[in-house]
Amino acid sequence: MTAALELREVGKSFTMHLQGGVRLSVLSGISFSVHSGECVVLGGRSGLGKSTVLKMIFGNYRCDSGQILVRRGGEIVDVATATPRQILALRQRTISYVAQFLRAVPRVPAVDVVAEPLLLTGTPPEVARNKAMEMLRQLNIPETLWRIPPATFSGGEQQRVNIARALIAEHPILLLDEPTASLDADNRARVLALLAARRTAGTAMVGIFHDSEARSSVATRIFSLPERREAA
């Protein structure tokens, strides 16, 4: 396998416990690969499972069938069958994820939220904090907010903290779920420039962008999710 990431015939369904245990098939037979320096944007209408694909790659959801293969150095890890320890190792060294909402521990300052991925890999605290401050500066977060918990920030500020946290470790795979949705034009341009630079440097990206301008500025390829077949 030469790709950084490859999905092979991935399927996912959910059990609707409040509807008598009915199983809802969300995805079936999803296959695509992403190489270093590519940004594959997931296309298709809302409700087809784009965010579910990202969560399965990150290991938040288990897929019901297929393989999710991640290249980690000279090793290939199948997220579909990986142990929790293996998934945590992938998150520490290989895969970063910009979710739609920042989930941070209350009372932890923004600079420490951003620095955490580096600290988890053994980076000295002073070095990690300095890099975190530089990321916050690049993403236009005022210095007065660096030592304040981001739970008190505006939606756009929280999202930029979220992006800074994902970018700081420079992992080879980056997952993006609407990273620019809550940003104004100036900050959207800042984020898109950073993403374009990471892609040029060789990061493999999978993203969801409903903003057509944002999508066209970073995408190298669109993978459209198939329409679900309704039961007869």
pLDDT in tens, 51-73: 999 999 999 999 999 999 999 98
Helix and strand element counts for the chain (H, E): 7, 9
Q: How many distinct structural domains can be found in the chain? A: 1
Taking residues 159-177, report their average pLDDT.
Answer: 95
pTM of the model: 0.92
pLDDT of 231 reads 42
For residue 18, what pLDDT band results from cuts at 50, 70 and 90?
low
**For the segment 111-134, what is each residue's pLDDT rounded down to a tens digit?**
999 999 999 999 999 999 999 999
In a domain, 167, yes or no: yes
Whether the predicted pLDDT of 102 surpasses 70: yes
Tell whether 10 is covered by a domain.
yes
The answer to whether residue 229 sits within a structural domain is no
Q: Which structural domain, as residue segments, surrounds residue 184?
A: 5-15+28-224
Mean pLDDT of the chain: 92
pLDDT digits (tens, 9 = 90+) for 184-214: 999 999 999 999 999 999 999 999 998 888 8
Assign residue 79 the CATH number of its domain.
3.40.50.300
In 17-94, where do the E strands start and end?
A: 22-34, 39-43, 65-72, 75-78
Does residue 44 lie within any of the structural domains?
yes
On whether the CB atoms of residues 64 and 11 are closer than 8 A, the answer is yes
Query: Is 231 a domain residue?
Result: no
- Is 22 within a domain? no
Beta carbons of 126 and 134 less than 8 angstroms apart: no
Q: Is residue 61 included in any domain, yes or no?
A: yes
Q: Is 230 inside any structural domain? A: no
